[in-house]
């Protein structure tokens, strides 16, 4: 009877025995240099394969020893739960490895976009994408070919801005009553303020703090303090449970829509006379951007609608509104410019019907027209319009209206029954009007700003990282004014993360330009629109961002780099 020896392991090998085993393996490798003989599969395995079960490949002879054959050594199946080979995680494009390891004190809670909207980039981005230094590194495809002292024009509405810098933003907190009042007066009187290139002590600069207050002001209609009126697309969850006395009161709904129509008409008249540069109409289904003549390189008033549906486009055709789909190329003989009253559209429909009848004439020639069921008119129409339905609610469905047709669009939107939701938390609530200047029935609003000081990890320990957060409907003029102001206050060095409202990112597409406008003439005509000359200069440029918008901005030594 064998005695059990304490601390004894049967698998233990003495050093001389280990050497003998290694020599034996070396001899076996030499013997295995010849092609391995394929072993027969067991009967149980053949039966499992015949039953349709998916099994691993049967190991070849000599594969376990790894002696010179192409077969790799078998991996431990219990190494990971998902039973897949371990792959080294690569950092995303445009972000350095140290950026991913940097701790981020902020998290984005913006989830207002519609679930139907397909986003190329997620809006919920954390500050961990910002480096520990005051700049963001970009991939080669994101960096512009030349460094610029100005940012490209961005017509999307931002919901949040997060600026970071190595210098504090404490000057933006707790404005004095006199500074706040002076900022409001400067905005109402469209006072032009030019700050120096660099401000030595921003906290003591009254001019800087007043200009900061001036940059945060915008105008809104309707104004209901207990309801978030922007964004409207996908806002049902935020509005759920809020008091809405007009939802079941037809009289109150009529009063709200009457006041809204007066405000909408007032804004359009200001735009037409070039006293308002642009404004937005935000509904629960789509957003409209109206721009004055001279902006975005166009010599006419333009209106962009996104996203749209086939039903909305068909209703616009029926009202005689001529529009185009800038992102859809011409296919066949059908033109993109559609008109509900033009003869071209009717002729195309007639030609299409004749082609459809000719396509079934061969059945009559064979005498089998009664035996084969032909598709009905409805299915033929749905098949033709399949591509139109597929682009609904997508950036490609953006619609462009120009010139006098924008006035027809104004009347269409005022009388459109589907402009206001009939059920849900937004039922009976008119669309939101956003403008950089005052208009009839508008309410002055101020963007929310707060500064935070956090500790970030550095090579030598921890150091201070300062940030400034701006939330609210941030329109293009506010973004440009804030970047000009921070360029002076932060000595030409800061970085920013921008969170756009995704359905408005497509407003940055480049529109077809008939002629090149004289910028001096444009600036002279838009002098009284209420914008700073530098901001007006930027908004008059032709958009270059396409269907995307600015996501990250870096200013270093007064030179901008950005990523969209």
DSSP H stretches of helix in 416-544: 476-489, 519-525, 533-539
DSSP 8-state code for residue 227: S
Shared domain for 249 and 294, answered yes or no, is yes
* Burial zone of 53 (CB within 10 Å; 0-12 exposed, 13-18 middle, 19+ buried): exposed
Q: Is 233 helix (H, G, I), strand (E, B) or coil?
A: coil
pLDDT class of 526 with cuts at 50, 70, 90: very high
Q: Is residue 383 part of a domain?
A: no
For 182-197, what is the mean pLDDT?
A: 93
Q: Is residue 507 part of a domain?
A: yes
What spatial distance separates the first Cα and last Cα of the chain, rounded to whole Å? 79
Q: Is residue 439 part of a domain?
A: yes
**Least confident residue range of 153-157, 385-389, 411-415:** 385-389
Domain boundary among 426, 444, 462: 444
Please give the pLDDT value at position 330. Answer: 44
Shared domain for 285 and 434, answered yes or no, is yes
Please give the pLDDT value at position 90. Answer: 43
370 contacts: CB under 8 Å, gap ≥ 6:
none
Shared domain for 260 and 195, answered yes or no, is no
With contact defined as beta carbons under 8 Å apart, do 445 and 217 qualify? yes
Q: Give me the half-sphere count of Cα atoms (radius 13 Å) on the Cβ side of residue 235.
A: 22
With contact defined as beta carbons under 8 Å apart, do 482 and 189 qualify? no
Domain boundary among 428, 444, 460: 444
Q: What is the pLDDT of residues 541-559, one digit of tens each?
A: 999 898 999 999 999 999 9
In sequence order, what are the beta bridge partners of 331? 334
Shared domain for 306 and 396, answered yes or no, is yes
In sequence order, what are the beta bridge partners of 341? none
Share of the chain above pLDDT 90, in %: 49
DSSP H stretches of helix in 361-431: 361-366, 377-384, 386-390, 405-415
- Between residues 328 and 6, the one the model is more confident about: 328
Tell me: pLDDT of 318 over 80: yes
Tell me: pLDDT of 335 over 50: no
Distance (Å, whole) CA 134 – CA 99: 12
Q: What is the pLDDT of residues 460-500, one digit of tens each?
A: 777 788 999 999 999 999 999 999 999 999 999 999 999 99
Residue 311's closest CA among 406, 164, 416? 416
207 contacts: CB under 8 Å, gap ≥ 6:
193, 195
Characterize 83-117 residue by residue with b for buried, 16 or more Cβ atoms within 10 angstroms of its Cβ, and e for exposed: eeeeeeeeeeebbeeebeebeeebebeeebbbeeb
Shared domain for 279 and 317, answered yes or no, is yes
Strands lying side by side in the sheet with 399-402: 399-402, 302-306, 287-291, 278-282, 432-435, 217-221, 443-446
Report DSSP letters for 184-200, one per residue: HHHHHTT------S--S
pLDDT class of 98 with cuts at 50, 70, 90: very low
Please give the pLDDT value at position 97. Answer: 39
Shared domain for 440 and 512, answered yes or no, is no
Q: Is residue 226 part of a domain?
A: yes
Shared domain for 314 and 203, answered yes or no, is no
Q: Is residue 349 part of a domain?
A: no
Q: Is residue 314 part of a domain?
A: yes
Shared domain for 432 and 464, answered yes or no, is no
With contact defined as beta carbons under 8 Å apart, do 261 and 430 qualify? no
Q: Is residue 62 part of a domain?
A: no
Shared domain for 463 and 553, answered yes or no, is yes
Shared domain for 431 and 503, answered yes or no, is no
Read off the pTM. Answer: 0.69
With contact defined as beta carbons under 8 Å apart, do 463 and 288 qualify? no
> Hey, what's the torsion of the CAs at 337, 340, 342, 345, to 10 degrees?
60
With contact defined as beta carbons under 8 Å apart, do 402 and 300 qualify? yes
Shared domain for 424 and 293, answered yes or no, is yes
Q: Is residue 526 part of a domain?
A: yes
State how many domains the chain has.
Answer: 2
Quickly count: other Cβ atoms within 10 Å of residue 6's Cβ. Answer: 4
In sequence order, what are the beta bridge partners of 458? 461
pLDDT class of 342 with cuts at 50, 70, 90: very low
Distance (Å, whole) CA 356 – CA 243: 54
Q: What is the pLDDT of residues 425-471, one digit of tens each?
A: 999 999 999 999 999 999 999 999 999 887 777 777 777 889 999 99
* Burial zone of 240 (CB within 10 Å; 0-12 exposed, 13-18 middle, 19+ buried): exposed
Domain boundary among 407, 424, 444: 444
259: domain range? 221-328+390-444
With contact defined as beta carbons under 8 Å apart, do 228 and 238 qualify? yes
pLDDT class of 73 with cuts at 50, 70, 90: low
Q: What is the pLDDT of residues 253-266, one digit of tens each?
A: 999 999 999 999 99
Please give the pLDDT value at position 15. Answer: 79
Shared domain for 200 and 295, answered yes or no, is no
Q: What is the pLDDT of residues 23-63, one digit of tens each?
A: 888 777 766 655 555 555 566 666 666 666 555 665 544 44
Residue 198's closest CA among 410, 538, 484? 484
With contact defined as beta carbons under 8 Å apart, do 495 and 164 qualify? yes
Q: Is 497 helix (H, G, I), strand (E, B) or coil?
A: strand
């Amino acid at each position: 009877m064998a005695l059990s020896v304490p601390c004894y392991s049967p698998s233990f090998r003495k050093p001389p025995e280990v050497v003998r085993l290694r020599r034996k393996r070396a001899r076996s490798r030499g013997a295995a240099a010849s092609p391995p003989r394929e072993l027969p599969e067991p009967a149980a395995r053949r039966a499992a394969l015949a039953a349709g079960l998916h099994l691993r490949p049967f190991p070849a002879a000599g594969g376990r020893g790894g002696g010179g054959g192409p077969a790799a050594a078998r991996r431990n199946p219990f190494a990971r739960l998902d039973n897949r080979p371990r792959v080294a995680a690569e950092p995303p494009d445009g972000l350095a490895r140290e950026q991913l390891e940097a701790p981020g004190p902020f998290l984005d809670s913006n989830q207002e976009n519609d679930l139907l909207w397909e986003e190329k980039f997620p809006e919920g981005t954390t500050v961990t994408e910002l480096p520990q230094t005051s700049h963001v590194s970009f991939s080669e495809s994101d960096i512009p070919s030349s460094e610029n002292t100005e940012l490209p024009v961005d017509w999307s509405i931002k919901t949040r801005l997060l600026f970071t810098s190595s210098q504090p933003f404490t000057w933006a907190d707790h404005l004095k009553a006199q500074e706040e009042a002076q900022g409001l007066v400067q905005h109402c009187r469209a006072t032009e303020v030019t700050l120096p290139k660099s401000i030595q002590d921003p906290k003591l600069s009254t001019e800087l703090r007043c200009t900061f207050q001036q940059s945060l002001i915008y105008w809104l209609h309707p104004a209901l303090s207990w309801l978030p009126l922007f964004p409207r697309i996908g806002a049902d969850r935020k509005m759920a449970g809020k008091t809405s006395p007009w939802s079941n009161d037809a009289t109150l709904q009529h009063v709200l829509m009457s006041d809204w129509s007066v405000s909408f008409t007032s804004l359009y008249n200001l735009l037409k006379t070039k006293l308002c540069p642009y404004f937005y109409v935000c509904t629960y289904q789509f957003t409209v951007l109206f721009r004055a003549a001279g902006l975005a390189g166009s010599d006419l008033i333009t209106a962009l609608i996104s996203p749209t549906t086939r039903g909305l486009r068909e209703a616009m055709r029926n009202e005689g509104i001529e529009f185009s789909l800038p992102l859809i190329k011409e296919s066949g003989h059908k033109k993109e410019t559609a008109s509900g009253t033009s003869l071209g559209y009717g002729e195309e429909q007639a030609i299409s019907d004749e082609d459809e009848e000719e396509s079934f004439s061969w059945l009559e020639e064979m005498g089998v027209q009664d035996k084969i069921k032909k598709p009905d008119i409805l299915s033929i129409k749905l098949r033709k319009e399949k591509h139109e339905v597929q682009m609904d609610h997508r950036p490609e469905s953006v619609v462009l209206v120009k010139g006098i047709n924008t006035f027809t669009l104004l009347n269409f939107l005022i009388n459109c029954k589907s402009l206001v939701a009939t059920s849900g938390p937004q039922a009976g609530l008119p669309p939101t009007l956003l403008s950089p200047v005052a208009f009839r029935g508008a309410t002055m609003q101020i963007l929310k700003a707060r500064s935070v000081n956090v500790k970030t990890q550095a090579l030598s320990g921890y150091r201070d990282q300062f940030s400034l957060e701006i939330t609210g409907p941030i329109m293009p003029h506010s973004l440009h004014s804030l970047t000009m102001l921070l360029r002076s206050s932060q000595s030409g060095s800061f970085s920013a993360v921008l969170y756009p409202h995704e359905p408005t990112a497509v407003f940055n597409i480049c529109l077809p330009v008939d002629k090149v406008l004289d910028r001096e003439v444009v600036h002279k005509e838009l002098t009284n629109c209420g914008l700073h000359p530098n901001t007006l200069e930027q908004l008059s440029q032709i958009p270059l961002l396409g269907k995307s918008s600015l996501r990250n901005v870096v200013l270093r030594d007064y030179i901008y780099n950005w990523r969209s």
